[in-house]
Amino acid sequence: MQKPLILVTNDDGITAPGVRNLVEFMNEIGEVVVVAPNSPQSGKGHAITINSTLTFEEISLEGPQSDYSLSGTPVDCVKFALDKILTRKPDIVVSGINHGANSSINVIYSGTMSAAVEAGVEGLQAIGFSLLDFSWDADFGQAKEFIQEIVLKTLENPLPKGVVLNVNIPKLEKDKIKGIKVCRQAHAKWEESFDERINPHGKKYFWLTGYFNNMDSGSDADETALADGFISVVPVKFDLTAHEHLEQIAAVLNT
């Protein structure tokens, strides 16, 4: 039997420890091709490169996989891999492991998750993985068996059409992780605050900062599961239609 073909990408850049760990875990499951950004792309959401051009190169990194570094966004990487690099359709696309959480509303800002969503739009099985630890030397090892389990189960039991998975892993030692919980996206938002500074030429400039405000303590919310020590899995869709409100809005606009 042919080994599954696994496309790996991320948003922290092709050399980030998070993606190198994910590649190592996937090498034990299938044939791995990595197409990932050549620079950090955090917070790029579903951006694509249309007003400038892209370049790529094959690079040599440890392991049996092939590695291609692209000058674009995570979503560009998925599109480019499918059109220019892969010679057959991948069995699954995995993105990450992100250095930092992509739970709750962060799914819409996340390059990691946008790559997975793009793969879903392409009709592929796709999962984004994130660890709740921003540090470059975070310990991704404790998540290995959970990640492999989720990927293997998804290969065996394909996701419903139009759905990809958003997996977040708490920053805990392996034996402290309580298990996997399928959740809904918590209701939360960033309270932004721009940090104002003055450049050497006297002009104001700003850094986007803020704090994450979770407004949702529901037992079925991803933030709750993570706080309780579970790995959260949110099925994410890209039909953004608020079907439940179509009639109400039609009643207003069609009078």
C-alpha 219: how far from its chain's center?
23
193 contributes a contact to a copy of itself by CB under 8 A? yes
| Token pair in block for residue 224 | 């709750």
- Least distance in Å: CB of 140 to a copy of itself? 20
Pick 62 or 157: Cβ nearer a copy of itself: 157
Pick 136 or 194: Cβ nearer a copy of itself: 194
Rounded distance, CA 185 to CA 43, Å?
Answer: 18
Type of residue found at 117: V
Point out which span in 17-25, 27-35, 128-136, 149-157 binds a copy of itself (CB under 8 A): 149-157
- Least distance in Å: CB of 171 to a copy of itself? 20
139 annotated among ligand-binding-site residues = no
228 annotated among ligand-binding-site residues = no
| Token pair in block for residue 27 | 């090498």
Q: How many CA atoms lie within 13 A of 249 on its CB side?
A: 6
245 contributes a contact to a copy of itself by CB under 8 A? yes
Point out which span in 22-30, 37-45, 129-137, 168-176 binds a copy of itself (CB under 8 A): 37-45
> Is-contact 179 221, C-beta < 8 A?
no
Task: Name which position in 7, 14, 75, 132 contacts a copy of itself (CB under 8 A).
Answer: 75
- In this structure, are strands 56-59 and 66-70 parallel, antiparallel, or unpaired? antiparallel
Q: CB-based contacts of 215: which residues, under 8 Å, 6+ apart?
A: 187, 188, 189
Point out which span in 21-29, 87-95, 169-177, 195-203 binds a copy of itself (CB under 8 A): 195-203
> Is-contact 138 98, C-beta < 8 A?
no
220 annotated among ligand-binding-site residues = no
195 annotated among ligand-binding-site residues = no
> Is-contact 206 195, C-beta < 8 A?
yes
Near a copy of itself in 85-144, by CB under 8 A: 105, 107-109, 114, 117, 121-123
2 contributes a contact to a copy of itself by CB under 8 A? no
> Is-contact 41 74, C-beta < 8 A?
yes
Near a copy of itself in 152-181, by CB under 8 A: 153-154, 157, 159-160, 162-163, 165, 179-180
Q: How many residues bind a copy of itself (CB under 8 A)?
A: 79
Near a copy of itself in 16-35, by CB under 8 A: none
Q: Could you please report the per-residue DSSP string of 66-109? A: EEEEESS-HHHHHHHIIIII-SS--SEEEEEEEES---GGGGGT
Pick 220 or 228: Cβ nearer a copy of itself: 220
Binding residue ranges for a divalent metal cation = 11-12, 42, 98
